[in-house]
Amino acid sequence: MTPITRPLTPFDGQKPGTSGLRKKTRVFMQDGYVEAFVQSIFNAIGGVSGKTFVVGGDGRYFNAEAIQTILRMAAAQGAARCIVGREGLLSTPAASNLIRKRGADGGLVLSASHNPGGIDADFGLKYNIANGGPAPESVTATIHEQTQGISEYVTLETPDVDLGLLGETALGKMTVEILDPVADYAALMQELFDFDAIRALIAGGFSLKFDAMHAVTGPYATAILEGMLGAPKGTVLNGVPSVDFGKGHPDPNPIWAKPLVDMVMRDDGPDFAAASDGDGDRNMILGKGIYVTPSDSLAVLAANAHLAPGYARGLAGVARSMPTSRAADRVAEKLGIESFETPTGWKFFGNLLDAGRATLCGEESAGTGSDHVREKDGLWAVLLWLNILAARKISVAEILQDHWRSYGRDYYSRHDYEAVDSAAAEGLMADMNARLNDLPGTEVGNPPKVIARADQFAYTDPVDGSVSRNQGLRIFFADDSRAVIRLSGTGTEGATIRVYLERYEPAGGDLNVETQAALRDLAAAVNALTGLSERTGREAPDVMT
Ligand code: VG1
Ligand code: CO
């Protein structure tokens, strides 16, 4: 089997965003498109000769085809081994775990995460480095550079590998190892959490539901919740992964997982419910009658993590992305540990986790994780919640009330304006940037709110000193409320404007106002300041989480 070199013309726009390259599936399906991006990755990391990679994805349309292309190219270019999840399935956190556990040189994760799947929907591909985490900006920048000058790729002409067959096969001189995508991940969860206590909780009548949203967590949740923890059959909903996620939107939030939210709001609903996204790294947590805001979830987990065996030693520090609420910082302060504020995207947590400075990390976008892997981890968050519930023996709603009574409450919501005209979105950001210096002292909204300070968030990584600028516009008001505005880096259509709103209510204050009502004046002030409605032609956000 001789490697074949084929010519390529570079494709425009092969620029990794917040989490890898995301495009319409049909864009990825163009002749040579996957090859151009994969070859650029291989070039950017100095070739693949003798290296081992983990390869897998969330099972969406085109997953298996893209994997076959990657395997052929890796084999042709001298890779030693590719470790692949059966049928090409690996959740993002499971892939991260395998890279670490097997000492692989890196991984290729195929996913567009919470975006819909199908030939007319979205596809994605990202590269993870040897620590198991998403490639940092220095690497993604080199990959992008490579895509612009690429002129050829190297592959083999071989039949497809049977991805359903467990065990080792040879592809040219490379070994392809197909393994059960769940086993190693489930073993890791068992090390971190008190499975006996959770099993006893469930056996005692505590009821739960997990919505896998027809995506990759189905097999994981079924094996762990129903198999190992004894939850009744039917606990996992939509548990069979499908290439188009049952034509749904595998995004675990109150809009796209509405049936689950409706279920917990009923008197006869379960005590606990959760959902995860396309690739298994996000989580939504619900208790009877209550939706837990991801920012609050991070704070609650930080305050209670020591109740789980894997974190009994305590936390080194807590990190959150900038738009995430400050609730976690309050916990860190009380615990006397470091807290960090990073740009959006899990790649910015990698150095803090590697350096042992952060143990828990989280984002307002339903991402929570820890130093057990280098990705956010949906099922992990669910199991940590269950472990805490088993230890404290009170309800989700009681845990939150108790938390707010100790720390106060950061009312929080994110408003998304999706598929907005790109020029309008960029115009809004450019105008705001130009006005930044004039904003302090300005009064906006009705009743008027005074802007105390405003800036573009820049981050200096405390571990390697690298600097990332323009990571989102921050507006701080004199009453201690805050608004953040940034453009999404994961969309595939037009631009998505994200407006993040938060207002702090101290422990003695009114802790039970409906969230949108608590933030109404702030949202109106932001609208008045930015002209959001006029510029986008939208009366209201498309999604509020
Ligand atoms: C979004 C979220 C961000 C998250 C990213 C990847 O990015 O806001 O917090 O890390 O998605 O998550 P953006 O640029 O669209 O705001 V996943 O689960 O889609 O890999
Ligand atoms: Co995801």
The whole-angstrom distance between residue 226's C-alpha and the CA centroid of its chain comes to: 25
Give dist(CA 456, CA 274) in Å, integer: 34
| Prediction ipTM score | 0.98
**The token pair that represents 480 in the structure block:** 């201690």
Q: What is the mean pLDDT of the chain?
A: 96
Task: Using the atom order of ligand 1, give the atom closest to the CA of residue 498.
Answer: 16
Residues of the chain with pLDDT under 70: none
**The token pair that represents 464 in the structure block:** 């390697």
Give dist(CA 497, CA 503) in Å, integer: 20
pLDDT at res. 100: 98
Going by CA atoms, what residue is nearest to atom 2 of ligand 1? 365
**Residue whose C-alpha is closest to residue 59's, from 215, 237, 250:** 215
> Mutual orientation of helices 422-435 and 520-530 as an angle, nearest 10°?
90
Q: Strand locations in 147-288, DSSP E?
A: 152-155, 167-171, 174-179, 208-211, 236-237, 272-276, 283-287
Cβ-in-10-Å burial (0-12, 13-18, 19+) of 455 comes to middle
* Non-local CB neighbours of 216 within 8 Å, separated by 6+ positions: 57, 58, 59, 89, 90, 91, 241, 278, 279, 280
**Residue whose C-alpha is closest to residue 93's, from 195, 253, 217:** 217
Residue 355 one-letter amino acid: A
**Residue whose C-alpha is closest to residue 346's, from 506, 489, 201, 541:** 489
CB 179 within 8 A of CB 81: no
pLDDT at res. 179: 98
pLDDT at res. 489: 84
113 is catalytic: yes
CB 123 within 8 A of CB 28: yes
* Non-local CB neighbours of 531 within 8 Å, separated by 6+ positions: 428
Bond preceding residue 462 cis, omega within 30 of 0 = no
User: Where along the chain do the CATH 3.30.310.50 domains lie?
Assistant: 409-544
**The token pair that represents 208 in the structure block:** 């739960």
The SS3 call for residue 149 is helix
**β-pair type (106-110, 52-57):** parallel
pLDDT at res. 493: 83
Give dist(CA 25, CA 99) in Å, integer: 26
Superfamily for domain range 409-544:
Alpha-D-phosphohexomutase, C-terminal domain (3.30.310.50)
**The token pair that represents 368 in the structure block:** 């929570």
Pocket of ligand 1 (CB under 6 A): 18-19, 113-114, 277, 281-282, 321, 344-346, 363, 365, 367, 488-490, 498
Q: Which helix (H) or strand (E) holds 535?
A: helix 532-536
What separation in angstroms does the CA of 281 have from each of 1, 96, 490? 38, 11, 15
Q: Which of 115, 127, 365, 471 has the most ligand 1 atoms within 8 A of CB, as the residue to mutate?
A: 365
Give dist(CA 268, CA 255) in Å, integer: 21
Cβ-in-10-Å burial (0-12, 13-18, 19+) of 107 comes to buried
CA 453–ligand 1 middle distance (angstroms): 26
Pick the ligand that lies closest to the CA of residue 60.
2
**Residue whose C-alpha is closest to residue 373's, from 404, 349, 397, 342:** 349
**The token pair that represents 275 in the structure block:** 């959902």
pLDDT at res. 251: 95
**The token pair that represents 348 in the structure block:** 């910015």
pLDDT at res. 396: 98
DSSP per-residue letters across 78-92: T--EEEEEEEEE--H
pLDDT at res. 1: 78
Assign domain 4-181 one CATH number from 3.40.120.10, 2.60.120.380, 3.30.70.330, 3.90.79.10.
3.40.120.10
Residue 1 one-letter amino acid: M
Which of 96, 111, 113, 481 is catalytic? The answer is: 113
Going by CA atoms, what residue is nearest to atom 6 of ligand 1? 19
For the domain made up of 184-407, give the CATH fold. Alpha-D-Glucose-1,6-Bisphosphate; Chain A, domain 3 (3.40.120)
122 beta partners: 24
Going by CA atoms, what residue is nearest to atom 16 of ligand 1? 488
Q: Strand locations in 67-220, DSSP E?
A: 81-89, 106-110, 122-128, 152-155, 167-171, 174-179, 208-211
Going by CA atoms, what residue is nearest to atom 18 of ligand 1? 113
User: Where along the chain do the CATH 3.40.120.10 domains lie?
Assistant: 4-181, 184-407
What separation in angstroms does the CA of 185 have from each of 86, 105, 180, 189, 192? 14, 19, 10, 6, 11
Q: Which helix (H) or strand (E) holds 42?
A: helix 33-44
